[in-house]
Amino acid sequence: MESCKKNDKVNQQEGLILTLTLVVVEIHPLLQEEGLGLKNGLIFLTEERSKCELIQEKLTMLGAVFCKSFSRTKMLRNYQMGFRKYSHYDKESEILDYLEPGKFVPCLLVTGFVPDFLRGEKNLVPFEKVGFDVDKIMNDLQGFRQFARTNPDRLQYVIRRFKTSQIYLERNGESEMQMVMILAANVFCEYYRDRSVEFRTRLKRQEFGKAIRYCMELAEKYTECDALEAIKKSIEQYVEQHTEVMICRITEIGGKETEAIKEKNIILFDHDFYYIYEEMARKACENLLELVSFPNIKKQLYQEGVITCNYISGNNYTVGRVLTNAYGQSIRERFLVFRKEFFMSVDSLGLEERRGECECISENLQPESRAIDTKNFPLVWLNCCSRNGSRGYPSYALE
């Protein structure tokens, strides 16, 4: 029940973030006129390929245009979003050119982690659940679009007022995306105020504030996530989700383990290493293969000292190992050999200990973790215009 409530909350926040992002797209011509247009394109990040495909489907339903080729972007208007999926076959120069906002708002869908050449320069919007209600977003956007087309002067007033606000003039380290989302929330509240009472407008404003804070904290977390972190997480999630995968000490291979070896459905370990079949590692990293090829994944793991092997032949980084089961039978198999420290949790637990299949033997191994401190993340909020014309409601800092 608690997990369902948490998922519902995340879905609601992600729905609000997508709403604000599409509001930015809608008012982008006005933002450009006032010098507040996006200077960088958008990057929508998901952890799994299936969620990336879901985002693609929902964006299409909401009026965004899928750009299979770069030439398709010539057809787009400055109030439209164009999006495409990133592939490691794409040239970096073409992607960077594509992400330069001009005649439309560009969006790049990325799975797993942000490539190094895009890190820190673009507007990152991560999505973890992708379970938001498209119909609700569509209804909100349809109403807002009609309002925007009939009341451009009111929108322009809110935008110009934001340019002179204390939040904007005294911004300190806040990202471009954070500022433009706050502005989009101001603009949307101007529309929302016409169709609701002021109390509900204030509640909507607070909901937007929480969603913006959630998005910025998540973006900070994923900005720090590099390829190694993504590979580690992918393999750990695969093991967690596929409970049929056995985890066994290499000196304790019995009958069931021998059958699992035949099916390559087992992870073996000793004090220092995990022995993982290459086929299993490839399946675990499937969500990352649009970003980076599997040979390059193995190469990076080797260069970073995560996997070890005696010699490299082409793209082969596996190590041969003769296994002996409890019946004295010898089996020769090849594995990617991972250093055990790579998978240590913050509690110094290995894969087998988290699965609960053996006693703790890794207390002397230290985890390779990069903790992200978000406790002191800066909070900013918006100053919406009032309904009665005073336009002077105070800012609300959300605790």
Q: What is the rounded CA–CA span in Å between residue 1 and residue 377? A: 29
pLDDT score, position 348: 83
pLDDT score, position 363: 40
Question: What sign has the CA pseudo-torsion 185, 190, 194, 197?
Answer: positive
pLDDT score, position 207: 96
Regions of the chain with pLDDT less than 70 = 1-6, 121, 357-399
pLDDT score, position 372: 35
Helix ranges restricted to H, the chain: 2-26, 28-33, 49-61, 92-98, 134-150, 152-163, 166-169, 176-194, 198-223, 227-241, 255-262, 278-284, 294-303, 351-355
pLDDT score, position 311: 80
Backbone angles phi and psi of 360, in degrees to 5: -70, 125
